[in-house]
Structure 1
Amino acid sequence: MHAGLFLVCFALSAPLALAQLPGIEEPTDPTPAIQTPPPQASDAEIATRITDIFAEIDSLRRVTVKVNHGVVTLTGDVSSTAADTRAEELALRVNGVVTVENQIERRLAVDDSTGSLFGDSSSRLEKVYRALPLYGVSLAVFLVIALLGHLIASWRGFWRLLLPNPFLVELVSGAFRIVALLVALVMAMNILGATTMLGTILGGAGVIGLAIGFSVRDTLENYISSIMLSVRQPFRANEHVVIDGNEGKVIRLTSRSTILMTLDGNHLRIPNTIVFKAVILNYTRNPERRFEFDLGVDAADDPVAAMQLGLDRLKAMPFVLNDPEPEAFIQTVGDSNIVLRFMGWVNQTKTNFFKGRGLAISATKDALESAGFTLPEPIYRLRFDSKVEDALKSVPADSAPPAAATPPKKPVDTREASDVAADTTINEKVAAERAQGGEQDLLDEQSPVE
């Protein structure tokens, strides 16, 4: 593909290259004014001089010249607009010409329009043949530089020494390969003398690249975010995180998105643009995690004694850490109750956080109730009509049927429910996902974490 692009540039630059070869330069018009023999030429002499000049130029031989008081009128026909313009410019440069009335018409014959394209084939072939050594040198320079750039870009060990991040290794080595191709093209075009065409090509490529950049702005932003995340390494695989309100364990970081496994076992892809800008909560970095819950006691009870009783019960639970110690304080005082808040710490690597919190709530509640503390129930005030109230008062107090005896509760084996060991199901699923491979993972255990 690169060789084809280079040959196309060669073909387009052939006229410019051939124009600089010795012995095949095309004649150019002299810059000084064309003088007639006498300093003050008559109309006839001006007409003769212009006619003689046009007679020596193939494309202007059919142009007729008339001169009256220095005003030159050009008629006839030419094969191209360029020949029309050239005739007028030549006439204006003759001494004694005041102005030029250009009435030349362009011929629309097929042979005139295509003659310059297909005519004089032998001369063109001869020029190409004489330029073959120059083409060979230019092609050799292009191939040497391009091959050298490709070899350096493919030298993975060298790039890994410079850039420890594997994603940056791929990015920088690919960019180096493109730069080497551009340098090779510039050097080859300079040898051919086609620098003007090269500038036009590169300018057009820049404009196209700018337009493409605007159209894929979101994609580029996401790609740059992937680069920054691969450098920062804000989390590791299998860490428990919350990203922009999405909770789960990290499977991998790809060039487009961060893949999580939610706590209910589903895959979640978050674009890296969102991840880079989001607030990230990481539960795994610190294995100790605090739980908290609220319990209410009656307004007539001693809240301090209830707090101490709850703290003693929490400290007695084997999975609750003693350092940091559990804490308790009065959260609010309501109309009919006092709300106490209890807090304790667990080690997430050994204890299931949610099970531990639930058992701590149950144990503290039982301890307070066993000590005679009343856990307030909702109080409702009912208002009745006078007739309903009178009817209720007329009912004898002993008319209600006796309450049925409550059957004794059967003992239940609670060992499984009381097991607070850490759940490793999601960890195992994440490990299995990573073992299957798939997309390239930008998370590197060897790179420093943010």
Structure 2
Amino acid sequence: MKNLAVLAFVLFSIISATTHAQWGAIIRTTTTPSNNGKAEVAAPGFPILEFPTPESDRKIMDQLQSLVKESGWFSTIHIRVKDGIVVLEGNIKSREHLNVFLETAQRLPMTVAVINKVRVQPPLADNIEPVIEQLRDFGQKAWQMLPVLLISIFVVVFFIFFGGYLSDGIRNIWKWRIPNPFLLALVTRLTMVPIWILVFYFALRIVGVSNLEATIIGATGFLTLLFALAFKGIGENYLAGILLASRSPFTKGDLIKVGDHQGYVQNLNMRGTTIIDFNGNLILIPNIMVIQSVVENRTANPSMRTSFFVNIGYHESISRVQELIINALKEVNGILSDPAPNVVVEELTPSAVRLRVMVWLDAKNSAEARVKSRAMMKTKDILLVNGITIPDEAREIIFADDLKVQLVQDAAQKSTQTDRKEQIRRAAAYNLEDAKKEENLPIEEPKEKLMDLAKQNPLPGNKDSSDLLEPSKPKEGSEEEKKN
């Protein structure tokens, strides 16, 4: 910061010296007042006893041009003499040289007046010399203030190391009231801000910079406003993250749907909400989008209902089929007994009676697709075992002419159909026995594996960010520490 201040000071000095170059002065006797670029007439140095002539004007011109040539003071010079009036225009590097030239022109015989329009442009080295001198003075003052400066630096460095312990103490104080780690870190930082301001103010007071403290505080407020406008989107996400953490519409591992995105919540921080979809992809949704969209939390209530359809023939007893399906589904692993499974008539189609089977499951501990699959398999097998027909969709064929159909069915064909039905029943019974083995398999949600995979391969933005969804946990020691 000090280097930037010195550099700005140097640039400001150079620009000031360049832009404030003054025009040459008009000589009145031996003084050189500034004319600010306006021509003024100086009185002659001697009394004029006769009127100027062209010959006298030529002599004045020759003498002044000879002085310009021999001195080499002027970068550019234009001299005009008429009726004893001398007009000077051009550039010169030194004000002292200009004063000598004007005094000489004023003392020449037959000179009535001298009009000065010469501009003084000192070389760059002359402009930098004051800056260098100021830098030297600054260095000398800094050397004199070195002991006090070292004390101030020691105070700041000491507080940097001590501030970590102080921050931990403040965190422990707030931890009992704020279980959320993100909010806890936010409150801790806000508590440390005034402490840091006091430390820097105290350090500046030690150095003796009495007017710089207010300047720094004012500049800090201005920069805060500037950054707030520049990073409006980031600020919105930050505040939205705080609102989501305080309201807690979902927790880690919940199955949510935000807009077109659906998946399990993996992380929530100040940048956005990270979810894992069913394909294992990590999706980062900005918090402002989450707070402004309709969020569907499918696992907020542990009990979740799923349903499927099955068709039966018109000649079948609906009440008997309902009883068979309900009793069979009670044995399926993952289906809740309360609320109990239910079967209702959904629609009477042209070819079959469509039944809707509804079951409830624990969404946090069971996979909906797996439980639904087992329920459908169980329903199909129990219907076939009990001889319930499951007709397919009706197909209508229209013939242009009348079609004569003759059914010929002998005893052998009837026997074959009976055997076929018996084979279907036996196969369904075997499937029921085999399904019992599958029911013993675990029904855990695949989100556990997805969450473990996400922990092993986190998003780069989530590595150093606090998770808003998990309470702070003490760090577990290593195996060797546990043994000791």
Place the TM-score, normalised by the shorter chain, in its bin: 0.5 to 0.7
Map Cα deviations across residues 315-372 of structure 1 (whole Å, 9 max, x no partner).
4656533322233333334445443323222335665543332333343445556666
Letter in 1 for 2:471: Q
Distance 1:445 1:204, change over 3 A: closer
Distance 2:131 2:379 in 1: 105
- Among candidates 74, 94, 106, match of residue 119 of structure 2: 106
Partner of 1:434: 455
Letter in 1 for 2:394: I
- Among candidates 141, 152, 156, match of residue 167 of structure 2: 156
Q: TM-score, normalised by structure 2?
A: 0.56
* Counterparts of residues 146-225 of structure 1 (less than 5 Å): 146-147=156-157, 150-151=160-161, 153-154=163-164, 155-160=166-171, 161-162=173-174, 164=178, 165-168=180-183, 173=189, 176=193, 191=209, 209=227, 213-214=229-230, 217-225=232-240
Structure 2 residue matching 1:445: 3-state secondary structure: coil
Structure 1 residue matching 2:209: 3-state secondary structure: helix
Report the alpha carbon displacement of residue 444 of structure 1 after superposing the two structures with TM.
5.2
Structure 2 residue matching 1:9: 3-state secondary structure: helix
Structure 2 residue matching 1:380: 3-state secondary structure: coil
Partner of 2:371: 356
Please tell me whether the aligned partners of residues 299 and 337 of structure 1 are also in contact (alpha carbons under 8 angstroms).
yes
Distance 1:444 1:120 in 2: 58
Distance 1:144 1:361, change over 3 A: same
Distance 2:117 2:358 in 1: 100
Please tell me whether the aligned partners of residues 314 and 360 of structure 1 are also in contact (alpha carbons under 8 angstroms).
yes
Partner of 2:283: 269
Q: How many residue pairs align between the two structures?
A: 374
Aligned sequence identity (%): 16
Partner of 1:345: 360
What 5-or-longer segments of structure 2 have no aligned partner? 13-24, 44-86, 94-114, 474-484
Please tell me whether the aligned partners of residues 333 and 339 of structure 1 are also in contact (alpha carbons under 8 angstroms).
yes
Letter in 2 for 1:115: D
Distance 2:365 2:213 in 1: 70
Distance 2:214 2:468 in 1: 46
Map Cα deviations across residues 377-434 of structure 1 (whole Å, 9 max, x no partner).
3222322233xx56x66x89589x9789869577564444444631365424534653
Distance 1:334 1:355 in 2: 28
What 5-or-longer segments of structure 1 have no aligned partner? 17-46, 69-73, 81-101
Distance 1:429 1:119, change over 3 A: closer
Partner of 2:2: 6
Structure 2 residue matching 1:383: 3-state secondary structure: coil
Distance 1:52 1:226, change over 3 A: farther
Q: State the superposition RMSD in angstroms.
A: 5.5
Distance 1:120 1:446 in 2: 58
Map Cα deviations across residues 226-265 of structure 1 (whole Å, 9 max, x no partner).
444455554444444444444443443455444444445x
Distance 1:6 1:162, change over 3 A: farther
Distance 2:294 2:392 in 1: 40
Please tell me whether the aligned partners of residues 54 and 61 of structure 1 are also in contact (alpha carbons under 8 angstroms).
no
Report the alpha carbon displacement of residue 442 of structure 1 after superposing the two structures with TM.
0.8
Partner of 1:118: 129
Distance 1:355 1:327 in 2: 19
Structure 1 residue matching 2:309: 3-state secondary structure: strand
Q: TM-score, normalised by structure 1?
A: 0.59
Distance 1:333 1:302 in 2: 14
Distance 2:335 2:205 in 1: 73
